[in-house]
Structure 1
Amino acid sequence: MKCYICDAAITRENYSYEHIIINAAGGRLKSRDLICKQCNSDFGEKIDNILANQLNFFANQLMIKRERGDAQPIVGKKESTNEEIRFLPDGTIIPHRPKYEETAENNHVNISMMVRDNAELKKMAASLARKHPQLKEEDIINAAVHRESYIDGYTTFNLNVGGPEVFRAVCKCAVNYFKYKKGDTKYIKPLISYIKGTEDKDIVWMHYKDNLYDLNDDECFHMLHLRGNPTERVLYCYVDYFNTYKYIILLNDSYDGDEIGSTYCFDVLNSKVIEKEFSADYNRATLLDFFINKDVQPFERVQQCFNHTMAISQRRQRENHIGKIIEEGLNNAWGKSKYPNGTIITKEMVDEAVDEIMKKMEPFILHQLKNKN
């Protein structure tokens, strides 16, 4: 096998697994026969990372499981206070940065600080003890109070769709899939300079058309649809991330190879391949028209897709949080230090567990009712 980017032979020394749908979005389809280790690294830094940053919002909010690492935290702003807050991929919300404030009052200095974890507490306490020798680091740590609360009101985020580097990364995804399906390299060779960024081509655009596939309210998936039509002399690929970021890629407008019709669909919620039919089959005129008369303001359609995916993420976040509440309540009531393994569960123990769970469940229910109203 040869790297289709640089033509180097792929060997035991230079092979790498190329994710056809990037790992950052939870993609699992991959191959070691596409590009060499060096090209994989180069494109990962130059274009794949930018695509990953755009897709990370949904990977985070949907709590997507990746093959390597976790989704990155995302930062938003509370609309009421403009305060920055950080959303972790497990649903936890913390301040984006620690806070420290000193105010003078008569002959006293009032110190207020807020940290996000024990490591930051120790670091800030040590710094504070050095600055004020009369304070002891241990006393500062012992005086700290752990608080949990729910965030009310709206949070705003900045999201981007597309852009030159993202279009190139999406094109690479489509080419990867074509090569994965054993397509002849000669049909995608003219795209290499575009993927590298040394030549501009008008071959990738956002694509929000009706009825491309069936989508249920509880579904969220990635989709690749590759079509090679020698009669129409076109080779194209549809790439869809999270049913929200959707692109059409014209891979070749002089295609005379084998007939191709291949659809790959990956359920990101359950990490499994599913069967979905891509219902459109574009002729040459229709396909070329997508790039001549571009839909340059697909904002309403993007918003509809976004709402679908966010409704799913909110359900998953809610279910995950309820699971955490129950687990913490049971641990508080039945921790190993209190009841060793083998203890027979009594009615009193059940009542104790219910009480512990409801202590945490009540604020959550009140928060849900408040935001619903």
Structure 2
Amino acid sequence: MYIKLFDQEVGEGRPTFIIAEVGLNHNGSMEIAKKLIDVAVESGCNAVKFQKRDVKNLAINSFLDSPDLRFPEFGNTYREVREFVEFSNEELLELKEYAGKRKIHFFLTPFDLESAKTVEKLDLAVVKSASHNLTFIPLIRTLVKRKRPLIISTGMSTLEELDHTVSIVREADCPFALLHCVSAYPTPLELVNLKLIDFLKERYQVPVGYSGHEEYTSNSQATLAAVARGACIVERHITLDNNMIGFDHKISLNPESLKSLVNSIRNVDRMMGNGIKKLLPEEKIKRDQQRISIATKVSIRKGTKIEESMLVYKGPGTGFASYDLPKIIGQVAKVDIPEDILILPEMIG
């Protein structure tokens, strides 16, 4: 089960594809946005992701114009707050070009049909569908028409809803991957449910990743456990400072935490191996030193038929192993064999 994301083949046995989700943590500032791209690059992430909304189409006017006092610096209504943190197509193009110069992949999550047009205008090679748009079927149908890789977050959905959306994507013959996601901000560790990674892989037979929303103080334990469980894509929100005003800073990784997580994920990738059990050259010395062999309990004269009572089990492990006992019993000593030495093949016959 593999998918090609940009220039990287992603799936089991491949390096984890790490997405730095800027989301709205740029706070409407191009300067902050570019700094966050720099953070993603310097941390070793594979891609950086932004979000795009056409605010007037997000909700009905009465909802958009309802009071929203979460971030007074951004505005006093839901519309004002959302508009404050939105970038224009021109600004997003500038960010894409900046990411290109920094040698990191750039893509978007569009949240409405109008924003899906931005994906086309920017000619993005990959696109992401957010959890709360999993049942926004017109948007899903628009995105899969492109036949370019689609990453689908699966939070806040029922199994029936997910089955329906996956069937639509499959019918369109669009390559896709799923992200296990819990849409609780922050996500308590007891709700992370990493066993769902196995379930999603088995049920849909596609690459499965993990989009984490745990509080930044959790040391990214869930994300690392997800990678060890088989998640081949990781998405985490990033911020310059967890104390900044704005939407997702408290569930985001600051530069130091992001770099630490990426390094840890790369170490987990190295640890995964190929699943084949074999004796390693690096184990041979210890094996020879510490394994048990068959040794003599008494002196055995040349021509004597060897009996079990003449033998004992001792190290090192460079002689006959204990399971070779039937090969020795009944054999005749070809030489005088002293007490307390290992039996070797040339001594018997």
* TM-score, L = length of structure 1: 0.20
Larger Rg: 2
